[in-house]
Amino acid sequence: MTTSHYIAGRWVEGQGSDCISVNDPALGQPFAELKAASVAQVDQAVTAARGALPAWKNTSASERAAYLRGFAEQLGQRREALITLQMRNNGKPRHEAEIDLEDAIATFGYYAELAEQLPSKNRDVPLAAPGFSARTRLEPVGVVGLIVPWNFPLVTSAWKLAPALAAGCTVVLKPSEVTPLIEQAYGQIADALGLPPGVLNIVNGKAETGAALSNHNGLDKLSFTGSNSVGSQVMRSASAQCRPVTLELGGKSAIVVFDDCDVGQAVEWIVAGITWNAGQMCSATSRLLVQDGIADALLPRLQAALEQLRVGNPLTEEVDMGPLTSQAQWLKVAGYFATAREEGLQCLAGGKALDREGWFVSPTLYADVPKDSRLWTEEIFGPVLCARRFATEEQAIAEANDSRFGLVATVCSADLERAERVADALEVGHVWINSVQAVFVETSWGGTKGSGIGRELGPWGLSAYQSVKHVTRCLG
Ligand code: NAD
């Protein structure tokens, strides 16, 4: 059992009724256990954050920036332990675990810089009317609850934690019950840096703990990343209390491949967009739209590339793709394989669980998938790619936009004018042209339609934790 909750600057044991097993998905075996936080402990965490707020929000921006730089440095000092833990608990290949760590480090560094620029944002507003002066003041939203999923634990938490602390908010973070140990690093770092008690609190647990946090009336804002079904519950709690919410939800994103592409290069982009993190990405490009003129050449090469991927235990083998992170996810993906069989889909690769211990599935490709197939419309969250052909640019845009989600898209074309035109027409939050899943801390993250509300990263990620105040004075 691990002491796993960080409340008011102290590590405490869970007093909740749920017991959480932390699993190695490559073996399908638990390697740690912890007790969830109780509802009373969630309350203690929110109370601690409330108590810490007046002093924290009045720290200077440069003081907060120094703490954020400390987070970046200390993450670097824990590099090997954090990479290994992600490999063991998420099943990430080493190079992916390394990139996640680098992303988290870059995020803290970036928001340290933005924090330092904050004083210059509090400035006079030129008024057309005579006789008055006005100034802007960007204030922290207050106490924020942060609820995150398991697929990129270090990263998703960093994208919320760093801007929230930079803005002067205090925080209660609830990591996913699937990966509850990884974000403990943030509590350990807070300890090591001497972050004032209560500024960062971490409570672990399942749905009950998440609901206790999202329903808590002591929060000023809730920022949630996760599924649409839980996101809508979180939004209901926010609406009951009329308080702001940021939602980063699911996706069913398109990758559009025009017939002027180099086939080999396109195959690389397509494979990466669906097999990175074993396809467990909100931004997985799981709907392939391929133009008629290239489809017959591309699909067999894609099939071969998926079949050649090395799938295995990242801790003991050289792999391109690890297992799915949880048994629940493995069962869900297996359910979609069964649906594909019932629907009579044409399977060009995979379509089955691997016959070995652990929660592995084969990288999968279905071709000519009907538009009304559940596999074409629903988020699967696994390495399952569905393909359709298109004739014209207009048709590609219409099919890509024909989704209740709108998170990201990829456009592959040698004709850059066309690629930019298509990017502009896509109803999503982020488009990649001739690249794949390249996320930079300076650009925004978030979706349109059912993919969520609000943006993370960049200056927009900081604004999400700020409240705008104006002070207007009569000069007469
Ligand atoms: P999930 O919604 O099941 O869980 C997310 C978090 O919510 C977990 O911490 C969980 O414990 C908590 N939770 C569960 N029930 C709750 C409740 N009733 N009230 C409050 N909190 C509750 O999602 P998941 O399975 O962990 O993650 C996968 C989903 O996350 C996918 O849909 C994926 O697309 C989405 N996701 C989105 C982004 C993005 O940036 N848009 C990034 C990563 C993942």
Q: Is 312 near ligand 1, meaning CB less than 6 Å away?
A: no
Give the rounded percent of residues in the chain with a pLDDT score beyond 90: 98
Instruction: List the single range of 1-10, 18-27, 131-140 with lowest mean pLDDT.
Output: 1-10
CB atoms within 10 A of CB 283: 25
Q: In what order do the strands lie in the sheet with 466-474?
A: 124-125, 132-140, 466-474
The Cα 162–Cα 180 span in angstroms is 19
pLDDT tens for 61-73 read 999 999 999 999 9
When pLDDT is averaged across residues 233-256 and rounded to a whole number, the result is 97
List, by residue number, the catalytic residues.
Answer: 248, 282
Asked if residues 86 and 92 have their Cβ atoms less than 8 Å apart, the reply is: yes
The Cα 196–Cα 6 span in angstroms is 12
Asked if residues 329 and 359 have their Cβ atoms less than 8 Å apart, the reply is: yes
Flag whether the pTM goes above 0.85.
yes
Q: Could you give the C-alpha distances from 330 to 49, 124, 220, in angstroms and in order? A: 37, 55, 36
pLDDT tens for 358-383 read 999 999 999 999 999 999 999 999 99
- Average pLDDT for the chain: 97
Kind of pairing between the strands at 132-140 and 124-125: antiparallel
Res 3 pLDDT > 80:
no
Res 229 pLDDT > 70:
yes
Q: What share of the chain is helix, strand, coil (3-state, %, to 5)?
A: 40, 20, 35
Q: Is 210 near ligand 1, meaning CB less than 6 Å away?
A: yes
**Ligand 1 atom nearest to CA at 231:** 2
Ligand 1 mutation pick, 223, 282, 441, max ligand atoms within 8 A of CB: 282
Q: Is 279 near ligand 1, meaning CB less than 6 Å away?
A: no
Spatial neighbors of 236 by CB under 8 A, at least 6 apart, are none
Ligand 1 mutation pick, 154, 230, 253, 439, max ligand atoms within 8 A of CB: 230
Q: What is the whole-number distance in angstroms between the Cα of residue 248 and the centre of ligand 1?
A: 9
Asked if residues 243 and 219 have their Cβ atoms less than 8 Å apart, the reply is: yes
In this prediction, residue 69 carries a pLDDT of: 98
Per the listing, tokens 């999968």 go with 364
Q: Could you give the C-alpha distances from 394 to 390, 423, 425, in angstroms and in order? A: 9, 12, 10
Minimal-distance CA residue to ligand 1 atom 15: 207
In this prediction, residue 2 carries a pLDDT of: 59
Q: What is the whole-number distance in angstroms between the Cα of residue 207 and the centre of ligand 1?
A: 10
DSSP code of 276? G
**Ligand 1 atom nearest to CA at 250:** 34
Q: Is 248 near ligand 1, meaning CB less than 6 Å away?
A: yes
Q: Could you give the C-alpha distances from 196 to 72, 116, 353, in angstroms and in order? A: 17, 19, 48
Q: Specify whether the backbone of 381 is left (phi greater than 0), alpha (psi in -120 to 50) or beta.
A: left
Q: Is 444 near ligand 1, meaning CB less than 6 Å away?
A: no
Res 1 pLDDT > 50:
no
